[in-house]
Amino acid sequence: MKISRKTKHYVEDTLCYIALFLVLIFTIFPIVWMFLTSIKDEADILTIPPRIFFNPTLENYNFVFERSKFFRGLINSLIVVFSVIAITLPIAMLAAYSFARFNVGGGQIQFYILTVRMFPPIAAIVPFFIIFRNIGLLDNILALIILNTIFNLPFTVWLLYGFFKEIPQDLEEAAMTEG
């Protein structure tokens, strides 16, 4: 007995939707579990087997926002992020533009930038630790800004290099001519 094309298409679609549903459950379950755990009290969290029905509480959120150093860490992270962006982006834009428009590095500049990017940061931890200890930057936010700038600059240059390479030179010349 031959299966019709319509039936075969219906079975394929059904199997595809089942697979998508399983991936969705697999992806969303940890997020739901974390949220439910965040509104349980300590006794409900540690109960084995886990309780399905419990009395929700916001005490954990109260602890995080009022009694922990959550906001201090958040502010430090924001300071580091915005400082690294403010330093990295202008330097990377200038470097990427010059690499894209002029023959710098014998035309192999992309390879050199990617080679620096392949260097494992873990291999540089001890030398950076010694340097920062000697100049007194341990436990200082400036050390984080310097390290993040050093490790993000090659990637940013490489990313912007591709962007500047895609802009036609004629468009740039027309913009210079016409103002």
Token duo for residue 136: 């007194």
* Helix locations, the chain, DSSP H: 5-38, 42-45, 59-62, 70-101, 109-117, 125-134, 141-166, 169-178
CB 96 within 8 A of CB 164: yes
| Amino acid identity at 157 | V
Taking alpha carbons only, the member of 116, 101, 103, 102 closest to residue 158 is 116
pLDDT of residue 33: 87
Q: What is the rounded end-to-end Cα distance, in angstroms, of the chain?
A: 74
Which pLDDT belongs to residue 107? 64
Q: What does the pLDDT profile of the chain (179 residues) look like in tens digits?
A: 677 777 878 888 899 999 999 999 999 999 998 888 888 887 777 778 877 788 888 888 888 888 878 888 889 999 999 999 999 999 999 988 888 888 766 667 667 777 777 778 888 888 889 999 999 888 889 999 999 998 888 889 888 988 888 888 888 788 888 76
| pLDDT score, position 67 | 81
User: Does the predicted TM-score (pTM) go above 0.75?
Assistant: no
